[in-house]
Amino acid sequence: MARSGSKKADGSSLRALLRVAPGSKVDLRSFDCGATFGREKAKAVDEIAAGQTRLADLHDRLWAEAKHAVLVIVQGIDAAGKDGTIHSIMGAFNPQGTPVTSFKVPSSLELAHDYLWRVHARLPAKGEIGIFNRSHYEDVLVVRVHGLVPSERWKLRYRQINDWERMLTEEGLTIVKFFLAIDRDEQCARFQERVDDPKKRWKFSLADLEERKRWDEYRVAFEDCLAKTSTGWAPWHLIPANRNWFRNLAVSEILADALEDLDPQYPPAAEGVEGTIVE
Ligand code: AMP
Ligand code: MG
């Protein structure tokens, strides 16, 4: 069935262009975080609105059908735009079917379990589009950069995560992963804005500056993570995120394309319902 949308089968879709090929090497130093792939800001407002319409329609069907569960993972360094991205796509969804989880520093209870325990508990049910703001990927990112567990342990996690995500997809979960890439200057500008704007200051802490000093350690951890955990069953999409409009456009289009693959359908009427006259 033809639906409005921008899905292109010829490999020129943002989904195809921004997907990290499984097994490829990722070099974030040469990645252009301001890239727009020929898209224009002036047209983006309408294109994002069209993306939202597609997402709303697709989630309505997905929710009604209650057959597929979808997990959206959003990762990125501090100030990469994780919150803004989630805010943008959320507008399209039925809030009852869209649980959002923000993963923070693990509690003592969480730390008393394996690192996937808290994540597994928050996976979406059928019909839901679950959104993770940070995720189990922190367990090979911040955990690696800060040496929170010995390297022998976090090094095993790439394989463990791939195996776990594979099991989940075999059980019917669709996983769509976004890594938002901003560059160092952009993070500087965003932090400064957080400091200067009283409405954004609550988002900033001096600890963010300590993390910023580890930019290159994070970069290497991101590169390894993207290269080792982009799989055929759960690929990463590397989103140039210096420009919010492009980031929102890319995420909404890629997600809509992924949902379209599921081709969710409204369930057929129950026996005897069709043609019933309500008096
Ligand atoms: P925010 O996203 O700004 O609310 O911050 C959440 C904080 O929790 C970030 O500093 C993350 O690095 C931290 N965090 C999330 N998951 C983990 C984890 N598994 N281990 C350690 N820190 C984590
Ligand atoms: Mg923060």
Strand partners, 180: 76, 239
pTM: 0.96
Closest CA to 17 of 44, 42, 46, 39: 39
pLDDT for res 116: 98
Name the band, by pLDDT with cuts 50, 70 and 90, for residue 37. very high
Give yes or no for a contact between 248 and 48, defined as CB atoms under 8 angstroms apart.
yes
The ligand placed nearest to the CA atom of residue 82 is: 1
The closest residue, in CA terms, to atom 21 on ligand 1 is 105
The closest residue, in CA terms, to atom 1 on ligand 1 is 104
pLDDT for res 3: 45
The closest residue, in CA terms, to atom 3 on ligand 1 is 78
pLDDT for res 11: 73
Strand 173-181 to 129-133 pairing: unpaired
pLDDT for res 10: 58
Strand partners, 100: 131
At what angle are helices 244-262 and 41-65 packed, to 10 degrees?
30
Mean pLDDT of the region 82-86: 98
Taking the CA atoms of the chain, what radius of gyration do you get in angstroms? 20
The ligand placed nearest to the CA atom of residue 144 is: 1
Query: Which tens digit of pLDDT belongs to each residue from 227-252?
Result: 999 999 999 999 999 999 999 999 99
**Is the pLDDT confidence value at 99 over 80?**
yes
CA–CA dist 247, 257 (Å, integer)? 15
Query: Six-digit token pair at 48?
Result: 């994002």
SS3 category, 178: strand
Pocket test for ligand 1, best of 100, 109, 131, 134 (most atoms within 8 A of CB): 134
The residue among 8 and 32 whose pLDDT is bigger is: 32
Pocket test for ligand 1, best of 137, 142, 202 (most atoms within 8 A of CB): 142
Pocket test for ligand 1, best of 75, 83, 104 (most atoms within 8 A of CB): 104
**Is the pLDDT confidence value at 5 over 60?**
no
**Is the pLDDT confidence value at 215 over 90?**
yes
Query: Which tens digit of pLDDT belongs to each residue from 59-71?
Result: 999 999 999 999 9
Give yes or no for a contact between 75 and 175, defined as CB atoms under 8 angstroms apart.
no
Name the band, by pLDDT with cuts 50, 70 and 90, for residue 12. confident
The closest residue, in CA terms, to atom 20 on ligand 1 is 105
pLDDT for res 261: 98
Mean pLDDT of the region 76-99: 96
Q: What percent of the chain has pLDDT over 90?
A: 96
Q: Is the CB of 138 under 6 A from ligand 1?
A: yes
pLDDT for res 96: 96
**Is the pLDDT confidence value at 1 over 70?**
no
End-to-end CA distance of the chain: 34
SS3 category, 183: coil
Give yes or no for a contact between 49 and 88, defined as CB atoms under 8 angstroms apart.
no
State the burial class of residue 149 (Cβ atoms within 10 Å of its Cβ: 0-12, 13-18, 19+). middle
Query: Which tens digit of pLDDT belongs to each residue from 121-135?
Result: 999 999 999 999 999
Strand 69-76 to 100-102 pairing: unpaired
The closest residue, in CA terms, to atom 2 on ligand 1 is 104
Q: Is the CB of 106 under 6 A from ligand 1?
A: yes
142 CA closest ligand 1 atom index: 12
Q: Is the CB of 103 under 6 A from ligand 1?
A: yes
pLDDT for res 225: 98
CA of 79 to the centre of ligand 1 (A): 13
